Amino acid sequence: MQQTQLLTVRDLGVRLGGLHLVEGVDLDLARGRTHGLVGESGSGKSVTAMAIMRLFDPRLFQVRARRIAFDGRELTDLDNRQMRRIRGAEISMIFQEPMTALNPVLTVGEQIIETLLVHQRLGRAAARRKALEMLEWVRIPAAARRLDEYPHLLSGGMRQRVMIAIAIACRPKLLIADEPTTALDVTIQAQILDLLHELQTEMGMGILLITHDLGVVAGYADEVSVMYAGRIVETGGTAQIYRTPRHPYTEGLIRSHPPVDRDVDELATIPGGVPQPHLRPPGCRFGPRCAHHRAACDLADPPLIGHGGGQRAACIRHADYGAPPAPEAAHG
């Protein structure tokens, strides 16, 4: 598969009033690849995605970036009308909660048809046939009957498949999947992630996979960026980061993930929680939770430092620790 650059983000920042929600975010995603954006709730992952999609109200949020390039176009140069043409057609997003993202008063079919009518020159009959095709493509059983059902009649897994059907209806080049398996049981999670990977293979689209689950990243992402308190603290190839994490937050996330090859009595945890934007500490933002913390960590928030092979980490003590070798990514 040809790996040309699809998405390039440089120095992305989002402010709400005087609060910096995210700062200095850089991301790269090649066509046909999956880039995992990982971190606990409150790290800034969804804010980053919303900013890329230009979904924030400019009257409330200030979004600034040196560059947001998608498929050779600079998104920051587009007006709202031009951006609306891209959203849903060339860039689609799967939101965390399908029950709130789906319209409860419209049938499943009408919600897919609406997307097709907006972005493709189809008559209603043709759009309905395409909507049925999409439900079949995402393997919803009895798709013809489900087409005329309302979201509340479907299971969580089927609602998520409907969200995917809406997102891929126009065959986007980029799919942003924001916690696509939230609140689903393990078996359904695997089915949804396998489906996304199969659709990616068929369509050649890039996927920005937002998750707090390191297991999801290990199994499906080619590259990963670890986000903490509004900044990227480590980035690189997934297998490389799993083998030799260079930031203590990444190490903590790996150690807190249950191993698949053995039973454990108690999982390791990271003490404390992600600080709110107005309570971020001076210096390294992870400092108060870090077992390797020292006085120098409070002097400045360290930049990303290269470690070869594309891996970079924002830590002054990157050589002092490292998790034991982890299983290599299953897909990559």
Written as one letter, the residue type at 52 is I
CA dist 87 → 111, 113, 205 (Å): 15, 16, 14
Residues 6+ apart with CB under 8 A from 32: 1, 2, 3, 200, 204, 205, 206
Contact at 8 Å (CB) between 248 and 315? yes
Closest CA to 285 of 312, 321, 248: 248
Domain 5-90+179-186+206-313, CATH homologous superfamily name and number: P-loop containing nucleotide triphosphate hydrolases (3.40.50.300)
Half-sphere exposure of 6 (CA within 13 A, CB side): 22
Longest CA span, the chain: 67
What's the predicted TM-score (pTM) here?
0.91
Residue pLDDT, tens place only, 46-95: 999 999 999 999 999 999 999 999 999 999 999 999 999 999 999 999 98
CA 47 – CA 162 distance, rounded (Å): 23
pLDDT of residue 216: 87
Q: Which residue has the tokens 């049925």?
A: 132
Helices of type H across the chain = 45-52, 80-86, 98-101, 108-119, 124-137, 143-146, 156-168, 186-203, 214-220, 238-243, 248-255
Question: What's the confidence (pLDDT) of residue 328?
Answer: 40
Convert 163-192 to b/e letters by CB count within 10 Å (16 or more is b). Answer: bbbbbbbbebbbbbbbbbbbebeeebbebb
What does the pLDDT profile of the chain (332 residues) look like in tens digits? 446 899 999 999 999 999 999 999 999 999 999 999 999 999 999 999 999 999 999 999 999 999 999 999 999 999 999 999 999 999 999 987 777 889 999 999 999 999 999 999 899 999 999 999 999 999 999 999 999 999 999 998 999 999 999 999 999 999 999 999 877 888 888 999 999 999 999 999 999 999 998 888 988 999 999 999 999 999 999 999 999 999 999 999 998 877 666 666 677 889 999 999 999 999 999 999 999 999 999 999 999 999 889 999 999 975 554 444 333 444 43
